[in-house]
């Protein structure tokens, strides 16, 4: 039986660790360390060499413990490859209607990449489950807060340059989730096999999210509740 995306798990901690350009052995060790550090959702980008094999290996070992997805998905063929490999959610860098439709048909979440307000609205209208604002650091939390004015119904996931230090600012700006790459899976640390650093960094991100949730209060809790409610869709 294939693994299913766990919305309740994601709602409790909507942090997505992004793996790009690592070997299968590195990816396995990195996700083990980050999962030990309390993170629960990860994606492997399909432009990584051997991405399908990495997703299969991760799903086999950790599929019961974490949500595993595929990123940089740009075509229906990519969707099919990712799902056949064990991915339970799909992340795109662009708004591609056929990819969103394929995800809907397979009943898997589609986290769709956008930048502009028009793209945000288009992605949501086409059926995106979550809208990934990328590259978030090009405009920062102020931009996220501004687009939420007219588009407050859309759950946004800033991705690109989200750090332990900036996470709270994005959360206050209205982010529902967070995509985290290099600040968690630092290439030099992973090349050196510094898994203790990865685990510690994961704990720092988890702690930053919890602290910002407590500081923001009802609005942050409401966003968690909205995400958790998707488990009943």
**DSSP assignment string, 176-204:** S-EEE-TTTS-HHHHHTT-HHHHHHHHHH
Q: What is the pLDDT of residues 145-164, one digit of tens each?
A: 999 999 999 999 999 999 99
Mean pLDDT, rounded, for 187-215? 98
119 is an active site residue: no
Q: What is the pLDDT of residues 40-62, one digit of tens each?
A: 999 999 999 999 999 999 999 99
Query: Which residue is catalytic, options 26, 56, 96, 132?
Result: 132
- Taking the model in full, what pTM does it have? 0.96
H helices of the chain, where? 7-12, 24-36, 51-62, 76-85, 97-106, 117-126, 141-148, 167-172, 187-191, 195-216, 218-229
**Beta strands at 15-19 and 110-114: parallel, antiparallel or unpaired:** unpaired
Mean pLDDT, rounded, for 180-189? 98
pLDDT band at 232 (very low <50, low <70, confident <90, very high): low
- How much is the pLDDT for 2? 56
Q: Taking all residues of the chain, what is their mean pLDDT, rounded to a whole number?
A: 96
Share of the chain above pLDDT 90, in %: 95
187 is an active site residue: no
Q: Is the pLDDT of residue 126 over 50?
A: yes
Domains recognised in the chain with CATH numbers: 7-232 (3.20.20.70)
Mean pLDDT, rounded, for 220-229? 90
- How much is the pLDDT for 98? 98
Mean pLDDT, rounded, for 127-139? 96
Mean pLDDT, rounded, for 106-125? 97
pLDDT band at 233 (very low <50, low <70, confident <90, very high): low
Helix (H) or strand (E) holding 110: strand 110-114
Spatial strand order in the sheet of 130-133:
156-158, 130-133, 110-114, 89-91, 67-71, 41-45, 15-19, 178-180
Mean pLDDT, rounded, for 89-109? 97
Q: What is the pLDDT of residues 7-37, one digit of tens each?
A: 999 999 999 999 999 999 999 999 999 999 9
pLDDT band at 230 (very low <50, low <70, confident <90, very high): confident
* Least confident among 98-102, 206-210, 229-233: 229-233
Query: Which residue is catalytic, options 26, 43, 96, 199?
Result: 43
Q: Is the pLDDT of residue 227 over 60?
A: yes
- How much is the pLDDT for 1? 41
Taking CA atoms, 73 is separated from 58, 121, 171, 231, in Å, by: 18, 20, 26, 23
- How much is the pLDDT for 199? 98
């Amino acid at each position: 039986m294939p693994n299913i995306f766990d919305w309740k798990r994601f709602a409790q901690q909507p942090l997505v660790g992004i793996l790009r350009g690592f070997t299968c052995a590195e990816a396995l060790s990195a996700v083990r360390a980050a999962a030990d550090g309390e993170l629960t959702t990860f994606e492997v980008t399909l432009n990584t060499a051997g991405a399908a094999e990495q997703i299969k290996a991760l799903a086999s070992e950790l599929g019961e413990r974490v949500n595993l997805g595929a990123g940089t998905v740009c075509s229906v063929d990519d969707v099919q490859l990712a799902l056949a490999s064990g991915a339970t959610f799909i992340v795109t860098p662009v708004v591609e209607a056929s990819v969103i439709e394929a995800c809907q048909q397979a009943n898997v979440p589609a986290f769709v990449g956008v930048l502009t307000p028009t793209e945000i609205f288009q992605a949501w209208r086409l059926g995106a489950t979550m809208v990934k604002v990328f590259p978030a650091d090009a405009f920062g939390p102020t931009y996220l807060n501004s687009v939420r004015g007219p588009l407050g119904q859309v759950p946004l996931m800033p991705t690109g340059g989200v750090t332990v230090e900036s996470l709270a600012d994005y959360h206050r700006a209205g982010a529902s989730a967070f995509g985290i790459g290099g600040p968690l899976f630092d290439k030099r640390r992973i090349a050196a096999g510094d898994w203790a650093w990865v685990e510690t960094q994961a704990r720092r991100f988890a702690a930053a999210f919890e602290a910002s949730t407590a500081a923001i209060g009802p609005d942050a809790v409401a966003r968690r509740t909205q995400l958790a409610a998707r488990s009943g869709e």
